[in-house]
Structure 1
Amino acid sequence: MIEVQSSLENKEIKLSHLEQKIKPLGYVIGGGWEYDHGYFDYKMVDEGEYLFVRLPFSAVDGDLDTKGVTVRLGRPFLLSHQYEDGLDHTNEEDPNPLFNQFAAPENPDATFPYEHINVGKEYVRELEQVILQNLDMN
């Protein structure tokens, strides 16, 4: 994991406005969200490992599932997930083969490749431009 200093840190924005701004860029809410915090992820690379730009956020005035909730942005970071070879690791004895068909991360916090760091930082700069544009109007 590589943290990227950003002018986004501690900025507050309505979650719905944040989604409207960054989902068109390809960001999705990561699956590990809780009621008080979560992450937007952008998958940079999908070749034997997944490289992500991750933007953390936390609820300021309610739970994330509350209509109109405001979130505070955290420090973006670059993250690498390395996956096992092969996508299917089911067997006949698996009681839940449809649910368990995808490979688990071999290394959920793998070293982020040096050659992709500057590209990841550029994605963070793009996030800054898109999110901070007209932020006071939201």
Structure 2
Amino acid sequence: MIPVTSDLENKVFPLYELEKQLKPLGYVIGGNWDFNEGSLDYRMSDEDGYQFIRLPFKAEEGMLDSPGAIVRLGQPFILTHVFQAGVEDHADNGVIQGMINQFQSPVDKDAEVPEKYVEKGKRLIEQLEHLLL
């Protein structure tokens, strides 16, 4: 995991507005959310695992599953998830591999992030700053 210093940290937004602006860019609500905290995730690549930008947030007002929830952003970071080798080795189609990977836990949730994705992630986070601030 590579934390990235950003002006987004501690900014407050309606969750609905964040989703409305970021989902068309490919960001999704991460599967690890609960009623008080979650993240917006962007998958940069699926080469040698999955490389993500994660923009964590916590509920400031309301609960995340309720209309009108207001969230405070945390420090964005870049991470790599590595999945088990095995059945998907024979599934060279990206769609099939993605269907298999979505049901398995990563072997390493915090694998080393290749340098090219650190730089790419930082540029994408800068783009988020320009869009949201």
**TM-score grouping bracket, smaller chain normalisation:** 0.7 to 0.9
Q: CA deviation at 1:103?
A: 3.4
- Structure 1 pair 103–127 and aligned structure 2 pair: CA distance change class (3 A): same
How big is the alpha-carbon RMSD for the aligned residues of Structure 1 and Structure 2? 2.2
- Residue pair 1:83, 1:103 contacting (<8 A) in 2 also: yes
- Equivalence map 1:95-110=2 (5 Å): 102-110=103-111
> Corresponding residue for 2:93?
none
Alignment partner of 1:66 is 2:66: yes
> Corresponding residue for 1:30?
30
- SS of the aligned residue for 2:71 comes to strand
Stretches of structure 2 that go unaligned for 5 or more consecutive residues are 89-99
> Corresponding residue for 1:86?
86
- Residue pair 1:57, 1:73 contacting (<8 A) in 2 also: yes
> Corresponding residue for 2:125?
124
Q: CA deviation at 1:104?
A: 2.7
- Residue pair 1:87, 1:103 contacting (<8 A) in 2 also: no
> Corresponding residue for 2:8?
8
- Separation in 2, partners of 1:70, 1:102: 30
Q: Normalized against structure 1, the TM-score is what?
A: 0.83
Q: CA deviation at 1:86?
A: 3.4
- SS of the aligned residue for 1:53 comes to strand
- SS of the aligned residue for 1:105 comes to coil
Q: CA deviation at 1:115?
A: 2.2
- Residue pair 1:22, 1:130 contacting (<8 A) in 2 also: no
- Residue pair 2:56, 2:75 contacting (<8 A) in 1 also: yes
* Structure 1 runs, 4 residues or longer, greater than 3 Å off: 99-103
- Structure 1 pair 16–83 and aligned structure 2 pair: CA distance change class (3 A): same
- Separation in 1, partners of 2:43, 2:86: 19
> Corresponding residue for 1:91?
none
Q: CA deviation at 1:101?
A: 8.3
Q: Normalized against structure 2, the TM-score is what?
A: 0.85
Stretches of structure 1 that go unaligned for 5 or more consecutive residues are 89-98, 133-138
Q: CA deviation at 1:84?
A: 1.1
Greater helix proportion: 2
Identity %: 48
- Residue pair 1:43, 1:53 contacting (<8 A) in 2 also: yes
- Structure 1 pair 103–86 and aligned structure 2 pair: CA distance change class (3 A): farther
- Residue pair 2:62, 2:68 contacting (<8 A) in 1 also: no
